[in-house]
Amino acid sequence: MWQLTDHAAVERTDLLAAPVAAAVTAWKHSTPVERLRVAAIDPELADTANFCAAYGVPLEASANCVVIAARRGGETRLAACVVLATTRADINGVVRRRLEARKASFAPQEEAVRRTGMEYGGITPVGLPEGWPILVDSAVVAQEHVVVGSGLRRSKLVLPGAALAELPGAEVVEGLARPA
């Protein structure tokens, strides 16, 4: 398939950030935990375009997870958006309305890292803090297999796109993303 050597994520939690490993270990969804795979990669190639080129993964099979800061009435709450690498999340339109925010933007890098317990460039929807909304573009869910971060820059998760719809707080959103 791709130029990745993958393993059952539940058997290689050493390749996952702590909150991701905890979520995989506690996995109780309809997608069997064995279908969650992890592959070690060169951390210098963790950014999507470099990763896809080096490991033969098509951009349309790679998904990005971005942390959003949604503000309303002096209150800020964090959420995640998961979109294919060929697209960009519609943050000022669909995302802002879905989160009922007056303003929505990318969360500051330091805050995203601190609040997720994951490395920047490796943030994934698996293992996000309890209560966070996770907006998943319907095109991601439609993928037979999709590659996402593992919480670390030195590995990637490979899982059925539909598994992301099973995460706590996940909502599948048609038109969440626009072509890049």
* Backbone φ, ψ for residue 95 (5° rounding): -65, -50
State which residues form the domain around 104: 6-179
Classify residue 60: in a domain, yes or no.
yes
CATH number (domain holding residue 126):
3.90.960.10
Per-residue pLDDT of the chain (180 residues; tens, 9 = 90+): 689 999 999 999 999 999 999 999 999 999 999 999 999 999 999 999 999 999 999 999 999 999 999 999 999 999 999 999 999 999 999 999 999 999 999 999 999 999 999 999 999 999 999 999 999 999 999 999 999 999 999 999 999 999 999 999 999 999 999 998
Classify residue 1: in a domain, yes or no.
no
Classify residue 33: in a domain, yes or no.
yes
Classify residue 165: in a domain, yes or no.
yes
Question: Using an 8 Å Cβ cutoff, are 39 and 155 in contact?
Answer: yes
Task: Report percent pLDDT > 70 for the chain.
Answer: 99
